[in-house]
Structure 1
Amino acid sequence: MTCFTGLSAFPITPASADGRVDTAALRALIAPLVRAGVDSIGLLGSTGTYAYLSREERRRALDAALDEAAGRVPVIVGVGALRTDEAIALAQDARAAGAVAGLLAAVSYTPLTDEEVSEHFSAVATESGLPICIYDNPGTTHFRFAPSLVGRLAQVPGICALKSPAPDPDAVADHLDALRRAVPAEFRLGTSGDWNAAEALLAGSEAWYSVAAGLFPHTCLAILRAAQAGDATRTRALNARMQPLWDLFKEFTSLRVIYAAASHLGLCRADPPRPILPLPEPLRQRVADVVDRLDLS
């Protein structure tokens, strides 16, 4: 599916302290992504704080995003949940609303086995009928998808793609090669982790699932297009310019930094959902200084 290639921009989901999604603010964040021409919008990913929102609020966010994208940009939506039946219901909601695909993580409290993850993903894909992208996010879920498990899941009808954190540049080619050898040719391999994405794209990653693109789509599109053109020199130069932002992401998490950046730019005034706290003022100023210095607005 073409929605699993190119640049997928992941916006935050502005919400009140009690978890009520600010649909007007969300639409204001999505509109520039549509105008920029991103290849897809990744709604309710980890940056979109899906795990902190009720089923009803997730549906309100999805309806607002789909209305704003208006058929011009496909919307991939997070459907992860602790329980398999809840994930199925969320995927069914997404399909009924008009999302093109679901992003499914191995969310758990009790650590999961490969067999449990396989059963979970197969059930969601089969019972919802929604195309599924495997969301490998071990930093959050504490579960890592080995190439063998990805290959096994790639045989399930409806499981079409992988979003996987890119390792360091010296390991990314081997990482992608191991995955490619495990999956069918039509299965799409994509990268997250903005600071390593440029090298992953040059090594053959077919998609970049980007937090930064949720606020700065033009900058990220320039990196992607240079990589797609095979211009490694330009790709690396554009990426190097972004290093101050990548350093902030790694030091304070991309979630906290992107909330501070959105606030600095006046795009929304929401805070992350508690217990996550916004960055304190001195660190917010550091974020603002980087955004201004790089002219990312």
Structure 2
Amino acid sequence: MASGFFAILDDIAALMDDVAMTSKLATKKTAGILGDDLAVNAEKATGFLASREIPVLWAITKGSFINKLIILPVVFVLNWLYPPAIKAALIIGGVYLAYEGVEKIIEYLFHRAKKSEEVITESKLEKNDEHSEKAKVSSAIKTDFILSLEIVIIALGTAMEKEHPLITQTLSVTFVAIIATVGVYGIVALIVRMDDAGFYLVKKGNNKGFLFNVGGVLIKALPLVIKFLAIVGTIALILVSGGIFLHNIEYIHHLVPHNIPSIIAEFVVGLVFGLVAVLLMAGFKKVLVLVKK
């Protein structure tokens, strides 16, 4: 009886060891996507009133966990029943990411409000904040869904390479998905609270000394970090989408010359798909307007 119990413990230990090793390999392979995920979501979680930053981030984090709860079982079942469906879902997601990235660039280049046009006051922000907040949270959760889908599929592919049993694949991919959400949004939370940490250090330093200087640097650095993340996040959307198209559409893969660096190829392909998606969406909106008239 005792020997049977210890045999079960030994099997569990061996399973956990396989899960740990597989999760480690999968995390390495998804590191690039996790970096893009961080840049995109940090940019989306900023730009709110200080009192709303953490509630907004928590709403996005909950949405990310719900995304994982939807994606994980669907991917496992689809991979078992009809693997090509996963590739199709990835490509559709890639179009959405490319569209969002190119739309941000067009918005920045052609639709920015002139500085002299309007001064936005705190009270005006508060009036419009609820609608803006819901829109940004919704957009962030949709983007997270696509990035999460790619992370899960890459992690599953890594687990399948070693021909691990189904239980090992399931546990390791689930572990990577959870770590992705906790890690990414934990770092995002630290970024959006940089200014609060800075004000605390300034107060603690009594307007002089090392703590005061560090606090001042954190306060001044936050706007620069946000601008940087906005740029990196937009580029990441286009790069991830371009990578999806290159790796999952054979015609596109063979069309791009092999001597072009992969990062340039991914960006150009993502940009082209994004421009087409934006033009199609603009045309679709015009048709809807005409139909309503």
Using the size of structure 1 for normalisation, the TM-score is 0.25
Q: Which has the higher strand share?
A: 1
Q: Which has the higher contact order (CA 8 A, sep 6+)?
A: 2
Using the size of structure 2 for normalisation, the TM-score is 0.25
Which one has a bigger Cα radius of gyration? 2
